[in-house]
Structure 1
């Protein structure tokens, strides 16, 4: 079965379900969780008004049937969204898990978007009014740099692009989902993370428009070689080969390997491995069977202090405290 509904009617149905809304943070009246209407599916939508003109939405719901949402031409703020699960298809593209889209402000065209019932939707979405974006210039009477002006329009169709979520973006997304704070501390933390994500997206957008990244033309078997290199790295994460040895093992010269790896995976081989080690450490600490020193050694960190610093930067909590919290929750 397929549900075809206008955007206005869709959100009016959510509004009719307001009696099921609840507060997840008693100290914050601007943080509300809304239940998905039963006629669409199940799950919830968490809406946090971080400040006037800046809204964070965390979605975790599923549709019971294929849904097509029809939208008329309308005013639109700056918006970006990341899918961790599920995705949607519109007139221009399909955005799925591990991808993002970035829309500038302006006029959104008449369009329809389609969601499948096959997978749950886990999504982080941010709406930002153009005045917030302009505020980073300083004096808002000043003009934005030419390479940023396409993101802030008023009477023209908005700019829209999409891309693959980088490891650096993935770290921030997980920090948002696992935010350990409440009240004003939570709001400060989440606003910082939202703006950090925006900075990474703007950087990627500017690089793409100005051609600052020189892309390597991948040959037919290069992608297979790069994925093989990734497998070698992850298989030997505790004692990885050098870049020279790794590139030789997969039959690429070092310069080509570094450039192509970054192009395909969105980061360097070193940073890819670094984040994998931390994810592995997180999994090991969850079991509660090893202490921090043992986990650091197993995932390849020679220095416990460096491991603790890296873990805290990625997950927002010290590994020792994470281990204590985990044991207390069992």
Structure 2
């Protein structure tokens, strides 16, 4: 059987008036574009693209893609943006080819990327529906942001922006922690269609950006308000998280964790839920499942061994919870 060659669509044709990020960055704050691809007969992919200029140097992109066939997007415009990029969909892997680099983006996963010069690059997309949400930041914006942030984020950003000359693309995975899941669904579920829409979306985009950068910073904020004189007491919440993920196979019980931190269980439970949006137990369960997916994709162990390594005594229990969380059986991710 002859292998079908994916359709190649130019970025200008695919994204319409939204294709030139450099032009859009020069728009005034609050400027937005909604491009419906369904009205373009030359575009093989239906759906829409929405862009919002949140503030100087910061753009939010929301897009839904309904392809009838596998396709590729060719880029001719030079770009220079740091981006948080999230893909939502079932088995919607996207491959990015730039010069000699090939990077695969997996569905239901986030990434921090930097394209110094993506001219003449190709992005290969599947024939399955998927959604993408991105926050693009100009280098000057991200530098200023990192310099005003506590912890080691400044060093991380400097490493991103000082790529060797032979490279033109940086990519680092961003875990889909509960706070990020919440922000993504809030963006997709925006209830406004009037002047409140850009205000709502810009606020949620900033929340999403903070949740993303929290993963690259040792100082992830406090469990109580920064205006509270006793704000430093919130440090125990992040210590609790570090203890939990240090040994997910044999984590301490809630009572043991409370004793280790020197706080009572009620205070720990309340503060932990406030910071991470879930209970201690649910945080551990989700972390185990996220870790198991990475191990499955590596393809070096069996499903049974991975289930045991992340703390499950029975494979059936692991498989049931994994499918409920990701929508597919563990075997679906083996070696992907």
Which band: TM-score by shorter chain? 0.5 to 0.7
By how many angstroms is 1:274 displaced? Answer: 11
2:103 and 2:15 mapped to 1: Cα distance?
26
SS in 1 for 2:183: helix
1:41 and 1:94 mapped to 2: Cα distance?
20
Q: How does 1:70-85 map to 2 (within 5 A)?
A: 70-71=74-75, 74-85=78-89
By how many angstroms is 1:83 displaced? Answer: 1.2
Match of 1:205 in 2: 216
SS in 2 for 1:159: strand
Question: Which of 102, 106, 110 does residue 100 from structure 1 map onto?
Answer: 110
By how many angstroms is 1:145 displaced? Answer: 2.7
1:109 and 1:16 mapped to 2: Cα distance?
18
SS in 2 for 1:107: coil
Structure 1: runs of 5 or more not aligned: 19-27, 227-241, 246-265, 276-330
Task: Give the number of aligned pairs.
Answer: 216
Q: Are residue 192 (structure 1) and residue 203 (structure 2) matched?
A: yes
By how many angstroms is 1:50 displaced? Answer: 2.2
The structure-2 alpha-carbon separation of the partners of 1:181 and 1:149, relative to structure 1 and needing over 3 Å to count, comes to: same
By how many angstroms is 1:151 displaced? Answer: 3.3
CA contact (8 A) 1:43 1:60 kept: yes
By how many angstroms is 1:169 displaced? Answer: 0.2
Q: Are residue 44 (structure 1) and residue 21 (structure 2) matched?
A: no
2:281 and 2:51 mapped to 1: Cα distance?
36
Q: Deviations over 1:199-255 (max 9, x none)?
A: 222222346xxxx9797588xxx6xx99xxxxxxxxxxxxxxx7579xxxxxxxxxx
The structure-2 alpha-carbon separation of the partners of 1:127 and 1:46, relative to structure 1 and needing over 3 Å to count, comes to: same
Question: Which of 8, 13, 34 does residue 5 from structure 1 map onto?
Answer: 8
Match of 2:94 in 1: 88
By how many angstroms is 1:194 displaced? Answer: 1.4
Question: Which of 138, 152, 155 does residue 146 from structure 1 map onto?
Answer: 155
CA contact (8 A) 2:60 2:136 kept: yes
The structure-2 alpha-carbon separation of the partners of 1:153 and 1:271, relative to structure 1 and needing over 3 Å to count, comes to: same
Q: Deviations over 1:142-163 (max 9, x none)?
A: xx83232123348853431123
The structure-2 alpha-carbon separation of the partners of 1:206 and 1:267, relative to structure 1 and needing over 3 Å to count, comes to: farther
Q: Are residue 113 (structure 1) and residue 91 (structure 2) matched?
A: no
SS in 1 for 2:174: strand
Q: Are residue 126 (structure 1) and residue 132 (structure 2) matched?
A: no
CA contact (8 A) 1:2 1:68 kept: no
Considering only aligned residues, what root-mean-square deviation do their CA atoms show, in Å? 4.2
CA contact (8 A) 1:105 1:130 kept: no
Q: Are residue 166 (structure 1) and residue 177 (structure 2) matched?
A: yes
The structure-2 alpha-carbon separation of the partners of 1:41 and 1:4, relative to structure 1 and needing over 3 Å to count, comes to: closer
Structure 2: runs of 5 or more not aligned: 20-29, 219-238, 257-276, 287-336
SS in 2 for 1:84: strand
By how many angstroms is 1:42 displaced? Answer: 1.5
CA contact (8 A) 1:151 1:158 kept: no
Q: Deviations over 1:48-76 (max 9, x none)?
A: 22234322121112111111234469432
2:217 and 2:210 mapped to 1: Cα distance?
11
By how many angstroms is 1:29 displaced? Answer: 5.8
By how many angstroms is 1:125 displaced? Answer: 1.5
Match of 1:180 in 2: 191
Give the TM-score normalised by the residue count of structure 2.
Answer: 0.51
1:153 and 1:105 mapped to 2: Cα distance?
12
Question: Which of 65, 69, 76 does residue 61 from structure 1 map onto?
Answer: 65
